[in-house]
Structure 1
């Protein structure tokens, strides 16, 4: 197993991946608890600092870049401070940001998490404030984004469509991108929170259990319902494979010729934060497939990478050496179930 997986990670270097998606700025505003307010029964936080990290599709971009891939980011940002800082963060990771189209009428999508803690307490999220537009994408902006995809995709080894439901991934962008990937015979990986049935014909569909259940109207509560949901998704979307991530239960891959492979979670005892783990999964899947890996091996690597990032707070990434160490630790452990269980 290790002999098969480790060389794939080395081949990630300079693989060219385009990420088309909802580019989100995740802002963490930290405070320390000072007292209870006189105005209302709420805590007063003394400002302690503020950081921004790439979120949503931008986190997928960040993950690809950290894993040594060349990444082309395509999406929409606002003409605002959050957009400028997000572009600067991605450029610092040697990302091509020419596909981030500025829409003056649309704010950069931001998710501001206010966290609080004290010297003897664990820092916790108090509230999250989201800023985004639910208006349809302007036709001129959509045309500019489509033109960038058209001009740049010819140089790519794979594409990720990261749809967080912010109305940037329009039907025209979906259809054009998937058709271009088919014509060029490169993998197209889809992660869509609410509208996965719109992505018919993509190579790989990634969903978590709740998303998959909602998409096909099947309550996933046991092995039977999981199999029914995964097979129905694969059938409706004519995908090469469907990967359903299942939290503490690992992942289940619905592959070609009706094969179903369960990939157990790597380390449930050290989970701190699952934020952004799905972004890591699709980033690794795209890089692995671009490097020539079989779908099942790509999923195993994605599972190992997810096991790395959930041990970190906030939206996080896995470095190549961290991923290699996870592969050595888990798939070299000699566990009888480490290669997955085939459900026939």
Structure 2
């Protein structure tokens, strides 16, 4: 535990580049007024509209909350959601010069309609997603690649946050991994559907279901988990693979053959796991940038996850909370 406490102050001001699917999570909140006469549906009176960072944008938020200096790279539309997302990130001190606009392409938006009343719990009743399925233009890809090339040499680590919305194209992916190798800095990937395409990346983060799908398994148990971790590690020629396992903690696979099971730090208060993966990625990447070994970086990320799952919605962890959690565990 003392080792983790010594790492914490070293996280501050580490420059981290986060490349990926920048998502605007929009929450439309309404108060239940009555049942419609047109159809058996609720009529909601508009109460509020909030835009919060989602996807890779949530990863940038988490890095910033832990004290890192963040450079966001992705594609954001020239629309209301994009404007709000830029504003939210900028307000947290996140560099947004790497957010490229492609004419006619909307910001990736996930709009949740939330309904509630005075005596009822607010609940999501429907979600509307908006994104273009078309590939980026060559011009847009080159703008992203050029921004990365111009700024990567100043970074301490890079995150590739792939939520399946195709921001991290094969061209961008291959260039980023090559640039990181040339610069000698760690590159961590969190890919929901396509992790096996990230050959040469330094560190891989997956949850159990993602890891199972990556190696063609429908379900996963202790034995197959180890098999999956080793396959991903060897196929990608990575230095480490971290698989999060919910209430069973995490398992870290390292290139030197070491396999470490890391138990959860919080067993009793799980409210919401939304965005917890981004917290894990942010904490581990910052720890590696600060010079931590893979095992200690994974343990630190485990504590961060244990804190964030106690909070509702996409949330972040700050160094004070992390220090307190590690200190209490040590006691």
Shorter-chain TM-score above 0.5: yes
Partner of 2:10: 11
Q: Separation in 2 of the partners of 1:246 and 1:33?
A: 38
Partner of 1:107: 106
Q: How does 1:60-139 map to 2 (within 5 A)?
A: 60-139=59-138
Q: Separation in 2 of the partners of 1:46 and 1:19?
A: 38
Partner of 1:187: 186
2:101 alignment partner, SS class: strand
Deviation at 1:168, TM superposition (A): 1.1
1:200 alignment partner, SS class: coil
The Cα offsets for residues 262-309 of structure 1, whole Å up to 9 and x where unpaired, read as: 111221321111111111111111100000011111111111111111
Of stretches 8-17 and 114-123 in structure 1, the one that deviates more from structure 2 is 114-123
Deviation at 1:50, TM superposition (A): 1.2
Residue 267 to residue 88, structure 1, CA distance change in 2 (3 Å): same
The Cα offsets for residues 91-136 of structure 1, whole Å up to 9 and x where unpaired, read as: 1111111100011221001111111222222222111111111111
Q: Separation in 2 of the partners of 1:249 and 1:125?
A: 28
2:124 alignment partner, SS class: strand
The Cα offsets for residues 307-344 of structure 1, whole Å up to 9 and x where unpaired, read as: 111111111110110111121223x15xxxxxxxxxxx
Partner of 1:199: 198
Partner of 2:222: 223
1:145 matches 2:144: yes
Deviation at 1:218, TM superposition (A): 2.2
Partner of 2:154: 155
Tell me if the contact between 1:157 and 1:186 (Cα under 8 Å) persists in the aligned partners.
Answer: yes
Q: Separation in 2 of the partners of 1:101 and 1:315?
A: 24
Q: Separation in 2 of the partners of 1:270 and 1:120?
A: 24
The Cα offsets for residues 193-236 of structure 1, whole Å up to 9 and x where unpaired, read as: 11101101111100111111111112443211111111111111
Partner of 2:170: 171
Deviation at 1:30, TM superposition (A): 1.2
Q: Separation in 2 of the partners of 1:310 and 1:172?
A: 35
Tell me if the contact between 2:303 and 2:326 (Cα under 8 Å) persists in the aligned partners.
Answer: yes
Tell me if the contact between 2:14 and 2:290 (Cα under 8 Å) persists in the aligned partners.
Answer: yes
Q: TM-score, normalised by structure 1?
A: 0.94
Partner of 1:342: none
2:134 alignment partner, SS class: coil
Q: How does 1:12-27 map to 2 (within 5 A)?
A: 12-27=11-26
Partner of 1:336: none
Q: Separation in 2 of the partners of 1:241 and 1:135?
A: 33
Of stretches 126-135 and 150-159 in structure 1, the one that deviates more from structure 2 is 126-135
2:179 alignment partner, SS class: helix
Q: Separation in 2 of the partners of 1:117 and 1:293?
A: 45
Q: Separation in 2 of the partners of 1:221 and 1:148?
A: 39
Partner of 1:315: 314
Q: Separation in 1 of the partners of 2:219 and 2:177?
A: 28
Q: Which runs of 4+ in 1 moved over 3 A?
A: none
Unaligned runs of 5+ in 1: 334-344
1:269 alignment partner, SS class: coil
Size of the alignment, in residue pairs? 331
Deviation at 1:62, TM superposition (A): 0.8
Q: Separation in 2 of the partners of 1:134 and 1:310?
A: 31
1:78 alignment partner, SS class: coil
Q: TM-score, normalised by structure 2?
A: 0.97
Q: How does 1:230-309 map to 2 (within 5 A)?
A: 230-309=229-308
Of stretches 277-286 and 258-267 in structure 1, the one that deviates more from structure 2 is 258-267
2:268 alignment partner, SS class: helix
Deviation at 1:17, TM superposition (A): 0.3
CA RMSD of aligned residues (A): 1.1
Tell me if the contact between 1:219 and 1:225 (Cα under 8 Å) persists in the aligned partners.
Answer: no
